[in-house]
Structure 1
Amino acid sequence: MMRSLAPTRMACGAIAVMLLAGCTTFSRDGGFDSVSTTASARLGKEAVYVRTEADREAVSSRTQELLSKPLGMDDAVQIALLNNRGLQASYSELGISEADLVQAGRLPNPGFTFSRTHWSDGFGISRTFSMGVLSVLTLPLATRIESRRFEQTRLETANAMLAVAADTRKAYVNAVAAEQAALYAAQVKDSAEAGAELALRMRQAGSFSKLDHAREQAFYAESAAQLARARQQSVAAREKLTRMMGLWGSGTQYTLPERLPDLPKDRPQLNDLESFAMQNRLDIQAARLQTQSVATSLGLSKATRFINALEVGYLNNFETDKGHERGYEISVEIPLFDWGSAKVARAQAIYMQSANRLAQTAIDARSEVRESYSAYVTSYDVAKHYRDEVVPVRKIISDEMLLRYNGMLASVFELLADSRDQVAAVNGYIDALKDYWLAETDLQQSLGGRLPPLAMTPAPDAAHSDATPSPATPASTPKPAASAPVENPRMSVPVAQPAASPSPSSDSEGK
């Protein structure tokens, strides 16, 4: 005899209440407010999730405003947060995770079947209405798991935003340093070209040795190759910055400052950085949430190891000769062959894996803080040494050489030889300053996107800096160089113009 399911009015009302309770809705912001708050609190920047045409127009207007002036480091970071399409793609993970959360909070759809049979002198009707009870019982636990995963996704997305900001800062520092090095390489090449041409004329006049002439030619050839290499490195560094900012078309014609920001006068004293990183780093918080979520999943696996499916239904049968029959049925999976041990073992292994990854993340974070802080201190000290010791001494030597040259006590080739010594000093200072800003960015990233509040000081903006030291050039009445420290000097290589005849102060060997 066939039976059918027909729910009573009370059962229908209960199911309706359960359905309403299980309808988890989407949030207004889709979880992005936490990312925006992180950008504002840790970077002082605005993060925007571009979803509408109005958002695109606002982003385009803001980008054009920032590009209308020489680009500063903070400006580059802001443009990247607005335009980087990879970052925008990572924001979509929030929508995916929230959809999973909403889905986990929904009750499963009930099942309904209908059948009709007949025989010679009658017929029967069967209607089945059933619902999974186990999924209803585990609904709060499943919702809690997905809620933690959603929070984990928000932390991971915010951390991805901080990583894009850090990578943009690095790309900016490398781009400005590369352009600065290329400009200086052009000065070196011009000086070497003038020296080589003068050496050729003196060689033709018989007042310069073949060896010294070859040295000047070799220096010119090497400087030309170094200039080509420096220009290519400048193009590559600029293009990387362009990619990080998500610019194309006319947006790529932005202007970079001529030099990097000045070195801060004092290096802030930073203490308890490891504990600060443990509290502040988003990847550690995300890993901790993942471990908690996996632990909850392990508990769910243990609770349902024997019973994976449980359904309850109401019955109502009708036959022509018997009329209606009412009742209920229960459908349960019998753990005859699968006792759930494999499922529990898998969940336990996943939990141990997550716990070990959390521990490794914390260990790596502490190591990264120590390493980045060491690099930060060293790079600052090296850059300060160049600023306060190497560059001022080199400037004194250069000025003294100019005095001798103007007094006809030194030949033009001695002046050019001194300019070659400037190459190492200036390039060394450029590299040291670049290393400092890169190290500071790495330290901020290792601490979770920012330095401790008491240590945070605004970085000087090279695009608006007033420090523009005058280049050292030969003068008719040179003045002795001061011994005070020089802020981010831009040394110029003196370019000797070829003379019509050999210098009277040069002997047969050009000395």
Structure 2
Amino acid sequence: MNKPGTKPRLLAVAALAISLSGCATFSPDGGIQAVNDLAQAKAGAPVKLLRSDADRRALDELLAARMTQPLTADDAVQIALLNNRGLQASYWELGIAEADLVQAGRLSNPAFGYQHKTGGGTTSIERSLTFNLVSLITAPLATRIEGRQLEATRLQVANEAVTVASNTRRAWVEAVAATQSLAYARQVAAAADASADLGQRMRRAGNWSAFDQAREQAFYAEAMADVVRATSAATAAREALTRLMGLWGGQAAYRLPERLPDLPAAPREMTDVEQVAVRERLDIRAATLASQHTAASLGLSRATRFINVLELGGVHEREGAERQRGYEITLEIPLFDWGGARTVRAEAVYMQAVNRLAQTAADARSEARESYQAYRAGYDLARHYRDVVIPVRKQLSDETLLRYNGMLVSVFELLADAREQRSAVIAYIDAQKAFWLAEAGLEAALGGRLPATTTQDHSHHRAHGVTQ
């Protein structure tokens, strides 16, 4: 028995389902462009998803070009964002999230049923075509939810790229400082070797006591031990940087600058570090989207708590010569599971996300304050060594040398002054390193690169201006 309008309505439902299933499509770049825009703004370098051999060859050409000169911090960051394989793996998270979004916009496949029965001289044939109405009803909401999830994934991936960039800057500072310290340790060891050799010759001539000679030999032995320690530290720091940049083989033979950059002419004055951190940090934006995503999921749970499986289908049945048409609706009866557990769980997950967001924001504010104080203290200490300690030590060294040339002080005092210089220079290198590490930490705490400072003042004393 046919019901008027049944077939047109079923055809309309089928047409709507087919049209909705084709709404979501994949982006041509896999979603990497949005991450690239954020990375450019926050890390100062581009990102790229390596999809083909051509992409890898282009990267190899870039690496070869960078290897022709000492790597700057910006060079290291650019290489890390392109060549770090762990980061490349994270970039593919975008493809997974985008696939989930496309899948959410596609309806469940219709089910076709066919029954063929014979007996008693009759033949019964039943055909049915069933659509899942829940997926049809909730498809727009599910698409919005997965869209938020994709955006959250973009922020998470971009945040990971910014984190790798920050870690690379820190590693570059550590590696250059270790290289500079090693060069100075070798310089001190060479001077100590000369002092020890002088002591031996003066001892043989009868001009030095056994105590004086032993003191110079001990200083030489300590200087050689410092070289070994500095070599180990430089190797470890360089390898940490190498890992972040994803280099191996011949690529690991890159060169670094001989020394850290000079201090800027003045430190940055920032009175709104907390506001900048809350506004700019990607982890806060990602946590905000995560809470929104959870809230949307809660709404979906409530909408479907009583309708777990709802299907609409067309039925075409023939029994012998008699044909029957109609439709059927299958509705799950909430006899045992009323959906309350799912709703309570969704509410708990949402409140969990809200509290995590609040904690992330509180941590960001604290980290911003702490990092800025460390930055200012690091600048003040490094400037103190640059403007006070090193000039005074150099003045003492010059005066001691003048007195030695005028035969007013002995060689013992000259050598003792050289040993004191060593401690001051090492402390200055450490202070420089601490400042640049603090600046990288401040950038990480505020969510991206800081505005450029004034031109660096290169007229101040360099760390290697005081030598033995």
Report what 2:430 is aligned to. 431
**CA contact 1:391–1:486 (8 Å) conserved in 2:** no
Of residues 201-210 and 244-253 in structure 1, the stretch that sits farther from structure 2 once superposed is 201-210
Shift of 1:458: 7.2
Shift of 1:430: 0.4
Alpha-carbon distance in structure 2 between the residues aligned to 1:126 and 1:18 = 23
1:304 aligns with 2:304: yes
Structure 1 pair 216/379, CA: closer, same or farther in 2 (3 Å)?
same
Report what 1:279 is aligned to. 279
**CA contact 1:280–1:448 (8 Å) conserved in 2:** yes
**CA contact 1:262–1:487 (8 Å) conserved in 2:** no
SS in structure 1 at match of 2:307: coil
CA deviations 1:112-165 (Å, max 9, x no partner) are 111211113121112121111112111111111100000000011111111111
Shift of 1:364: 0.5
**Where in structure 2 are the equivalents of 1:112-123 lying within 5 Å?**
112-123=112-123
Report what 1:169 is aligned to. 169
Alpha-carbon distance in structure 2 between the residues aligned to 1:340 and 1:394 = 77
TM-score by length of 2: 0.95
Report what 1:393 is aligned to. 392
Report what 2:362 is aligned to. 363
Shift of 1:45: 2.0
Specify the code of the residue in structure 1 equivalent to 2:336. F
Alpha-carbon distance in structure 2 between the residues aligned to 1:74 and 1:422 = 33
Specify the code of the residue in structure 2 equivalent to 1:150. L
1:456 aligns with 2:452: yes
Report what 1:339 is aligned to. 338
Alpha-carbon distance in structure 2 between the residues aligned to 1:457 and 1:20 = 55
Structure 1 pair 326/365, CA: closer, same or farther in 2 (3 Å)?
same
**Where in structure 2 are the equivalents of 1:59-98 lying within 5 Å?**
59-98=59-98
SS in structure 2 at match of 1:8: helix
Alpha-carbon distance in structure 2 between the residues aligned to 1:282 and 1:262 = 31
1:411 aligns with 2:394: no
CA deviations 1:25-71 (Å, max 9, x no partner) are 11122221111112222333222221122222222212211221121
Specify the code of the residue in structure 2 equivalent to 1:490. H
Shift of 1:403: 0.8
**CA contact 1:189–1:224 (8 Å) conserved in 2:** yes
Alpha-carbon distance in structure 2 between the residues aligned to 1:305 and 1:13 = 27
Alpha-carbon distance in structure 2 between the residues aligned to 1:122 and 1:40 = 74
TM-score by length of 1: 0.87
Specify the code of the residue in structure 2 equivalent to 1:438. L
Shift of 1:231: 0.5
SS in structure 2 at match of 1:326: strand
Of residues 353-362 and 195-204 in structure 1, the stretch that sits farther from structure 2 once superposed is 195-204
**CA contact 2:77–2:165 (8 Å) conserved in 1:** yes
**Percent identity of equivalent pairs:** 53
Report what 2:379 is aligned to. 380
Report what 1:489 is aligned to. 463
Report what 2:253 is aligned to. 253
Report what 2:227 is aligned to. 227
SS in structure 1 at match of 2:295: helix
Alpha-carbon distance in structure 1 between the residues aligned to 2:387 and 2:94 = 50
**CA contact 1:188–1:423 (8 Å) conserved in 2:** yes
Shift of 1:342: 0.9
Shift of 1:402: 1.1
Alpha-carbon distance in structure 2 between the residues aligned to 1:440 and 1:357 = 27
CA deviations 1:454-509 (Å, max 9, x no partner) are x432786xxxx9x5xxxxxxxxxxxxxxxxx7333314543xxxxxxxxxxxxxxx
Structure 2 unpaired stretches of 5+: 1-5
Shift of 1:408: 2.2
Specify the code of the residue in structure 2 equivalent to 1:414. E
**CA contact 1:184–1:492 (8 Å) conserved in 2:** no
Report what 1:318 is aligned to. 318
**CA contact 1:94–1:154 (8 Å) conserved in 2:** yes
Report what 2:3 is aligned to. none
Alpha-carbon distance in structure 1 between the residues aligned to 2:259 and 2:165 = 21
Specify the code of the residue in structure 1 equivalent to 2:312. V
**CA contact 2:265–2:455 (8 Å) conserved in 1:** no
Report what 1:44 is aligned to. 44
Higher relative helix content = 2
CA deviations 1:169-214 (Å, max 9, x no partner) are 1111000100110111111112222222322333344433333332
In the TM superposition, structure 1's runs of 4+ consecutive aligned residues that sit over 4 Å from their partners are: none
1:354 aligns with 2:383: no
1:188 aligns with 2:195: no
Structure 1 unpaired stretches of 5+: 1-6, 468-484, 495-511
Report what 1:478 is aligned to. none
Specify the code of the residue in structure 2 equivalent to 1:210. A
Specify the code of the residue in structure 2 equivalent to 1:200. Q
SS in structure 2 at match of 1:207: coil
How many residues align? The count is 464
TM-align CA RMSD: 1.9
**Where in structure 2 are the equivalents of 1:49-60 lying within 5 Å?**
49-60=49-60
SS in structure 2 at match of 1:336: coil
SS in structure 1 at match of 2:314: strand
Shift of 1:271: 1.7
